[in-house]
Amino acid sequence: MATTARRRYPSQYEVDVLLKDGSTVRLRPVRRDDGRALTSLFRRLSPRSLYLRSHHQGRRVSPEEVRRFTQVDYEDAFGLVATLGEPPHERIVAFGLYSRLDGSDRADVAFTVEDSHQGRGIASQLLDHLAVAAREHGVSAFEADVLGENRAMMDVFRDSGFPVQSGLKYGTLHVAFPIEETEEAERRAAEREMTAAAASLRVFFQPRSVAVVGASRQRGKIGAEIFHNLLKDGFTGVIYPVNPEAAAVGAVKAYPSVLDIPDEVDLAIVAVPAGDVLDVADECARKGVRGMVVISAGFREAGAEGAALEQALLAKARSYGMRIVGPNCMGVVNADPAVSLNGTFSPVFPPFGNVALLSQSGALGLALLDYSRQLNIGLSTFVSVGNRADVSGNDLIQYWEQDPATDVILLYLESFGNPRKFSRLAQRISAQKPIVAVKSGRTAAGSRAAASHTGALASLDVASDALFRQAGVIRVDTLEQLFDVANLLAHQPVPKGRRVAILTNAGGPGILAADACAAYGLELPGLPAETAAALRAFLPPTASLRNPIDMIASASAEDYGRALRLLLADDSFDSIIVIFIPPLVTQAEEVAAAIREAATQLRGEKTVLTCFMSARGAPPELSRGGGCVLPSYAFPEAAAMALARVSEHAEWRKRPRGAVPRLDVETGRARAIVAAVQRADGGERVWAPPDRCSERLASYGIGSVHSKLARTANEAAAAAKPLG
């Protein structure tokens, strides 16, 4: 192994990673003082693991080897350890190392994982992160010698997505593969990330047991309401109230702490003062709790002291592989009757459906749950993420991507945690499950308010808009629009195009609908002669057979049904908006039943929306029976808006995905340029002169791309220029 001068500890490689069982470990570069902890790891290995690692039965790792593992230069030799627990009780459970081979651009790589932690995906994470470090230091390929019977290690290499080649000699496989970023490697890494994220969040939505820490006997307090809601709404698991000052809460035996509960606890919902949350987290970690929902406020949103407390809470949770929703949140809901989890202080338990909902605001989450119930939009799950210290929107959309109960994802956001990752994930998920988002903080005043609310920095709205558009996220401006779009997506197919037919019994609403459709970029084709003749056969002479189709006030429920069947069968239209204003004779319920029956009989790929303009709202007949459910809107403009946003999303889905260009990146050169500028100026944060900026861009291939584009444009202009 090559050795060079000792370099500064590279803290930028410290990272918390999710494993495929949903737990977390911390990866960090190995340090010189890790010798004792590494020796302890090797001593805990079983004889079988030692044999697979060293290729010799009974061979132990010598002190000289351990010293060599820890005294690396972080360039030609780079080691990563996976740790659990907090200092001074931190424990190393795995170790990975690459060592450059004789000054070449190739390196030998090896891994050691404690027996009790094998099979959790730690070695895959070590390989991924070592490859990143190696690429940045000029290593282009890894090699390893693996015993032929060590199938687990070979699976790690083969599942990495790198093009692995191997040859067998004397029972040992020599493995070699380039470590450049390829589409296949990125795809495999994304799959591992998605699986891990979903596994880590399952405990929040499908717990077998829940402890409510801070469950009060006094109704009206948050802990009391959460415990009461779990009982009232029929949680199918076991509930444990934790209250050190009460023998029972709500006629259920209480426990002084989580540690006193005799059985396993999957999820803890915490509603105690902020200053007590760290102690509760300690107890949960010792109990083996997998997830905590921290309702308590007084963290980052409260200032610097609260921010430090939140950081300490996060560090403690991650050191024990535990995940956190919140703090400063409202809780979680799973409306599936098989779970019936109302882990919030909201008195509203939504109907079960196919829409998942995330709210960054707890108080607003109360209103969103109530509104979904009023509109009869069923929810699969609901999460109030609060300060997002740990579980983020990126984690949740990956969970919902795999959740069979979720078809539509709704987001209320005040800020982004990791916009680049959100864009990458949303592009993949939106192609299968629509994501609808309303983001506050569109103005300077709103951004300041958002920052003070959850302690998060709001991004510029122009950047947010561009991000949503690129990622295929349906952006709306208001919460009302959020549910208007959700109502359509949850119940109807995505339209094939922008061509709309409007069917009404009143001219005024039809004109309003036509104006709104045109304003939102929808198209209103004229009726084909065949369809017009079929309509004329049963409609009065005064009916207008243009588009909108005005059947006039005398139109009966039967007329609505016959007309809708004709429009659904006509290939000239992708969507139909059906408007009804109750006249003196025709009953809204009869019309709704006729519309639903017609839409059910010809249910296919056409999108049907309704607008029942009356004080009584939409008749329940629109969703009764075994057929399709028809979304209904109070006014035509809302229906047109929802249809336009969903039509735009349908067009986005049809666009070619494209490919990310591969640039010739010279990371070492770029870093050298930055270091030279800093030395010349004598500071860390300095302005680089234009020529050095151009050099650094060129080191990432950006200058060459611009040059190629410029040459192409010049060549095209020359070709188009007339001769003579």
pLDDT for position 103: 85
Residue with more model confidence, 711 or 490: 490
Rounded CA-CA distance 629/643 in Å is: 16
Q: What are phi and psi of 255, to 5 degrees?
A: -125, 145
* CA-closest candidate to residue 640, choices 501, 438, 544: 501
**3-class state of residue 314 by DSSP:** helix
Assess whether pLDDT exceeds 50 at residue 320: yes
Written as one letter, the residue type at 581 is: I
Average per-residue pLDDT in the chain? Answer: 89
Confidence of residue 712 (pLDDT cuts 50, 70, 90): very low
Contacts 24+ apart (CB under 8 A), 244-249: 246/217, 249/215, 249/216, 249/217, 249/224
Mean pLDDT of 233-257: 96
pLDDT for position 665: 73
What are 143-201's pLDDT values in tens digits?
Answer: 999 998 999 999 999 999 999 999 987 779 999 999 998 889 999 999 999 999 999 99
Longest dimension (CA), the chain: 100
Whether 585 contacts 558, CB under 8 Å: no
Residues 6+ apart with CB under 8 A from 230: 210, 212, 239, 341, 342, 343
What are 79-125's pLDDT values in tens digits?
Answer: 999 999 888 889 999 999 999 998 899 999 999 999 999 999 999 99
pLDDT for position 632: 93
Written as one letter, the residue type at 207 is: P
What are 18-39's pLDDT values in tens digits?
Answer: 999 999 999 999 999 999 999 9
Distances (CA, A) of 395 to 18, 386, 473: 10, 14, 16
What are 634-677's pLDDT values in tens digits?
Answer: 999 999 999 999 999 999 999 887 766 666 677 778 888 888 88
Residue with more model confidence, 595 or 416: 595
Looking at the DSSP bridge assignments, the partners of residue 334 are 341, 381
Confidence of residue 716 (pLDDT cuts 50, 70, 90): very low
- Judged by average pLDDT, the poorest of 68-82, 432-446, 698-712 is 698-712
pLDDT for position 104: 94
Dump strand ranges (E) for 155-290. 165-169, 172-178, 209-213, 238-242, 248-249, 252-253, 267-270
Q: What is the number of other CB atoms lying within 10 angstroms of the CB of residue 114? A: 21
- Judged by average pLDDT, the poorest of 79-88, 196-205, 290-299, 497-506 is 79-88
Rounded CA-CA distance 60/25 in Å is: 26
pLDDT for position 615: 62
Whether 243 contacts 273, CB under 8 Å: no
pLDDT for position 626: 61
* CA-closest candidate to residue 464, choices 505, 413, 515: 413
pLDDT for position 584: 65
What are 526-548's pLDDT values in tens digits?
Answer: 999 999 999 999 999 999 999 99
Helix axes of 690-699 and 667-681: crossing angle, nearest 10 degrees: 160
Assess whether pLDDT exceeds 50 at residue 210: yes
The tokens describing 450, both together, are 């958002």
pLDDT for position 668: 74
β 341-344/331-334 pair status: antiparallel
Assess whether pLDDT exceeds 70 at residue 241: yes
Mean pLDDT of 294-306: 95
Assess whether pLDDT exceeds 90 at residue 618: no
Rounded CA-CA distance 623/496 in Å is: 23
Looking at the DSSP bridge assignments, the partners of residue 167 are 174
What are 454-470's pLDDT values in tens digits?
Answer: 554 444 578 888 899 99
**3-class state of residue 28 by DSSP:** strand
pLDDT for position 441: 59
What are 405-414's pLDDT values in tens digits?
Answer: 999 999 999 8
Q: What are phi and psi of 142, to 5 degrees?
A: -110, 150
pLDDT for position 622: 87
pLDDT for position 662: 66
Rounded CA-CA distance 540/83 in Å is: 79
Assess whether pLDDT exceeds 50 at residue 1: no
Residue with more model confidence, 45 or 673: 45
Quick one: three-class SS letters along 532-558?
Answer: HHHHHCCCCCCCECCCCEECCCCCCHH
Mean pLDDT of 602-625: 82
